[in-house]
């Protein structure tokens, strides 16, 4: 029965900490946008083409004949 004197305050402290972290997260905007992260996985990443067409049209030959 004496273990309840340890576990009950420990459980109350743990619960109060969890509620405090939840309140802090909601006030700091952690749950503002719930739709975008789930939708982001559905779209492919756009590939960025860094070469211009003039770079690939004619190869440059720097060797002398």
Mean pLDDT of the chain, nearest integer: 82
pLDDT tens figures, 30-47: 888 878 877 888 887 777
Total domains, the chain: 1
pLDDT at 65: 55
Q: Percentage of the chain surpassing pLDDT 70?
A: 71
Q: What is the rounded CA–CA span in Å between residue 30 and residue 22?
A: 10
Does 11 fall in a domain?
yes
Does 4 fall in a domain?
yes
Does 1 fall in a domain?
yes
The reported pTM is 0.52
């Amino acid at each position: 029965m004496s273990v309840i004197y340890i576990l009950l305050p420990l459980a109350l402290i743990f619960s109060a900490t969890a509620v405090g972290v939840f309140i802090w997260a909601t006030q700091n905007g952690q749950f503002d946008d719930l739709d975008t992260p789930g939708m982001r996985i559905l779209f492919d990443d756009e590939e960025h083409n860094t070469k211009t067409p003039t770079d690939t049209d004619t190869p440059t030959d720097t060797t002398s004949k």
